Structure 1
């Protein structure tokens, strides 16, 4: 993080950092927390480097900063506040009225609490540039994606409160209109507001058996769905504490740190910091990112969702024919 961005962040979080550790200046408290996030440094190392009296003080300072970031920067999840920009920016994929792309990030946890190769999942909605619009973290990896979805504030905001994705419909050139929607991977159910790819009717690579409209939709969907992995990949590269395997005794704190890092990711984008690929080395062995693989949803599909997807697929096919 550059000095101007650090100074701005310090100003935004002050005075909440003043009481973190009385003997250590807020500048050092914030620097220590960012250093731990960026390098995965243990608290003992933070104490030596930044002047804390003990590892316990360093730990308290770290979580004070995380709490303050969650409290002061929560507005950077902009699904509600900046939906017009989000929809407009999906124009590069010819996806009118699209409000984001939904997927998962996986964070490794050691021990037996989550079983062999256990992890915690974070469901995230991202925009066309990889900003996080909504994050729900802390779900055990043995839960089905649709089970997680139904318990998130995003789902409740659309289906029950009806204060999300409730804006005006967009009229297509053929006279059909489509409501606001998000794209989701095939592990999710097809809903009127959550559009998943068309299933391939036969085994094998490619889109064999799909008609041109369905292929056009799946092609646009593939380009968009990669935005989730890109966003989580950048988070892991910049904040390497999340690239490490967490001990099971710390598992309750992991979701809190995940959300903190997602907010910091949005903050550095807002500050126009360069993408991490430009200057950070690749992840080390044992820190590799895993491509998320979940079983294809095999439940009932929404008829209304099928109509919205078909209308969008026809639009995308017309766009392809004009190119």
Structure 2
């Protein structure tokens, strides 16, 4: 590692040297070990390096064992300990529900960057391949006929995650995951907006998220009008603007998988570790984005190969909120006025 060039740090650990040692310093309270009379402790930096190498490449434990000159059981323990430490110590800093003031900044950013007002994020789900568990195998068998767990994520206008729910079995529908996540309870109780709500088009309006067809239409969760020849120009314009803005989470998922290949290839870790590993990767994604670490566009070539095609959206039965259509219509008016 002392001989690494900047490109080596990016290729091996998906981050700069400065960010690597910043993370090591933050993880010290959980990972620092003392030497014993029987053996010296594995240096903290080496433990972090082992774990990040695994997350970045998804190569087998035995390969990393040879590279770093440690036993396979040590590699396994490093990955587990570092992932748990990242979630414990870095999540409060890099992946927390925003404050009221932060929501205001996020709405301003989303509007400036994507031209969609009053929005504080986009929500979507991503299926991640796993080895079939010994029990409840059918629960993890998704509609594309491969075993997976699901990541539900919410990102801001910069593609940084601020809410993550990971680990639900692959057969679970998106709407079910959403309704069983803390996000549903928070948003349904008005937790995404200040009190009183900010004014928009002459009326108080709570902030909202953008979703796809798999989600129910809510006053705080908007989606496109269903494709139809009967759509009006106003509705078509709304659909175009919403789908363009929603691309922020599609790009975030691509960058997440490209940077951390353990999420793109089949993950052979024990199922109890997988949700923590997914969450750790989302946190590390935010760390790298906040620290402006270089993203190598060549990494995207690996994830462009659809080894595990994503299941199609299943449109839920009508559970639309009565006020939701009013909000969507208000946005139609807004975009129509802009065009005029």
Question: TM > 0.5 between the two?
Answer: yes
Q: Could you tell me which of 58, 67, 78 is aligned with 1:61?
A: 78
Q: Could you tell me which of 213, 217, 228 is aligned with 1:190?
A: 217
**Residues 93 and 146 (structure 1 numbering): CA distance in 2 closer, same or farther, change over 3 Å?**
same
Deviations 1:277-302 (A, max 9, x none): 2x536117966464552122231322
Give me the whole-angstrom Cα distance separating, in 2, the residues matched to 1:165 and 1:142. 32
Give me the whole-angstrom Cα distance separating, in 2, the residues matched to 1:316 and 1:284. 35
Q: Could you tell me which of 176, 183, 191 is aligned with 1:147?
A: 176
Q: Could you tell me which of 152, 157, 175 is aligned with 1:123?
A: 152
| 1:101 counterpart residue number | 122
Is 1:276 equivalent to 2:296 in the alignment? Answer: yes
Shift of 1:16: 1.7
Give me the whole-angstrom Cα distance separating, in 1, the residues matched to 2:44 and 2:307. 34
| 1:205 counterpart residue number | none
Residues matched between the structures, number: 310
Compute the TM-score of the two structures, normalised by the length of structure 1.
Answer: 0.88
Give me the whole-angstrom Cα distance separating, in 2, the residues matched to 1:40 and 1:193. 37
> Which consecutive unaligned segments of at least 5 residues does structure 2 have?
1-14
Shift of 1:138: 0.8
SS of equivalent to 1:264: helix
Aligned pairs (5 A) from 1:285-296: 288=307, 290-291=309-310, 293-296=312-315
Is 1:177 equivalent to 2:196 in the alignment? Answer: no
SS of equivalent to 1:190: coil
Give me the whole-angstrom Cα distance separating, in 1, the residues matched to 2:128 and 2:329. 35
Give me the whole-angstrom Cα distance separating, in 2, the residues matched to 1:294 and 1:20. 51
Deviations 1:142-178 (A, max 9, x none): 1222211111011111225x433345433234x2332
Q: Is the 8 A contact 2:55 2:261 kept in 1?
A: yes
Q: Is the 8 A contact 2:120 2:157 kept in 1?
A: no
Deviations 1:80-102 (A, max 9, x none): 24323211111132322211001
| 1:133 counterpart residue number | 162
| 1:219 counterpart residue number | 240
RMSD: 2.2
Q: Could you tell me which of 281, 285, 288 is aligned with 1:265?
A: 285
Q: Is the 8 A contact 1:20 1:64 kept in 2?
A: no
| 2:67 counterpart residue number | 49
> Which consecutive unaligned segments of at least 5 residues does structure 1 have?
202-207
**Residues 117 and 292 (structure 1 numbering): CA distance in 2 closer, same or farther, change over 3 Å?**
closer
Shift of 1:272: 0.5
Greater mean alpha carbon deviation, residues 69-78 or residues 99-108: 69-78
Q: Is the 8 A contact 1:229 1:291 kept in 2?
A: no
Give me the whole-angstrom Cα distance separating, in 1, the residues matched to 2:154 and 2:64. 33
| 1:9 counterpart residue number | 23
**Residues 157 and 273 (structure 1 numbering): CA distance in 2 closer, same or farther, change over 3 Å?**
same
